[in-house]
Structure 1
Amino acid sequence: MGAPGTARRGPVGEAEYPPLSRRSGWSEGSFSEMKYYEQGTSAERWERARTFFDAKRYSMAADILGGLVEEVPDQVGPRLLLARAYYHSAQLKRAEDQLRVLVERDPAEHYARLMLGRTLQRQGRDAEAEPHLRLASALAGDFAAL
């Protein structure tokens, strides 16, 4: 391979590939470090993460969603799906951290609050989970559960 920043010839020699540059986000070493499913636009990675999640490949979904949440930290959907992927892959502390961010930003987000309660329960922290579960029931209109 040529030096970084130089054009390279294709396998047969007739096609040239553009030089790798820091500006494009690629370097000689980064390609091998990046997994194929972490590449693409935000929308492509979102769809790929949902596909992995639906296939119950929660750790792979979390790998993709972690980078996506860093790019779009204010969007609820990717962060909530990341928390669910962590929950289903038994990464409960990570799930709790993501859910607390959501609940702090929007205290009326009932599904995040329900997930936070369930995550705390699963960690054996029932007393801490109870207020979140009660509030989630009230926000969902399930007053019989109160």
Structure 2
Amino acid sequence: MTDFTPFSPTAEPPATPHPLADEYARAHLFFEARDYTEAARILAPIVDAEPAHVAARLLLARSYYHSAQLRRAEAEARRVITHAPAETYAYLLLGRSLERQNRSEDAAPYLRLAAAMDSSYARGA
């Protein structure tokens, strides 16, 4: 696992100019290969280093969801919504994560909001 350290003016430059971007790309490859647990393992330090990186956080939430780590998926989806309230898919993901935890009543408002923001997310659409 690669350790990420905050920027330091006295630190040696990284071997690649954008190690986080490289790791994000690698995580995306694992996600596409349906190795969601490995994708999540790679993404967790990325979102720790860059908490406002919405795409990485959303991919982490999706990785957790698809690997049945539903509480983690829920927490990450909520963080995405906090950082990017217009991120429609985060509402859908949060609603579906809550549903899979048998919390349909809690899920309903998020699923309705996702459907209102994007009609393709409506049930039966």
TM-score range, shorter chain: 0.7 to 0.9
What is aligned with 1:88? 66
Which ranges of structure 2 fall in alignment gaps of 5 or more residues? 1-10, 13-17
Normalising by structure 1, we get a TM-score of 0.69
- Counterpart CA distance in 2 for 1:107 and 1:134 is 15
Normalising by structure 2, we get a TM-score of 0.80
Task: Select the structure with the greater relative contact order (CA < 8 A; seq sep ≥ 6).
Answer: 2
Identity %: 48
Which ranges of structure 1 fall in alignment gaps of 5 or more residues? 1-22, 25-39
Task: Select the residue among 13, 18, 23 that pairs with 1:45.
Answer: 23
Decide whether the 8 Å contact of 2:98 with 2:107 is kept in 1: yes
Going from structure 1 to structure 2, the CA distance change for 1:67 and 1:140 (only over 3 Å counts) comes to: same
Instruction: Determine which structure has the larger helix proportion and give its number.
Output: 2
| Off by >3 Å, runs of 4+ in structure 1 | 141-145
- Counterpart CA distance in 2 for 1:144 and 1:75 is 27
What is aligned with 1:64? 42
What is aligned with 1:101? 79
- Counterpart CA distance in 1 for 2:106 and 2:54 is 23
Going from structure 1 to structure 2, the CA distance change for 1:141 and 1:60 (only over 3 Å counts) comes to: same
CA-CA distance at 1:67 after TM superposition: 0.5
Tell me the amino acid that sits aligned with residue 85 of structure 1: S
CA-atom RMSD, angstroms? 2.0
User: What CA deviation, in whole Å up to 9, does each residue of 1:64-116 have, x standing for no partner?
Assistant: 00001011110110000000000011100001000011112333221000000
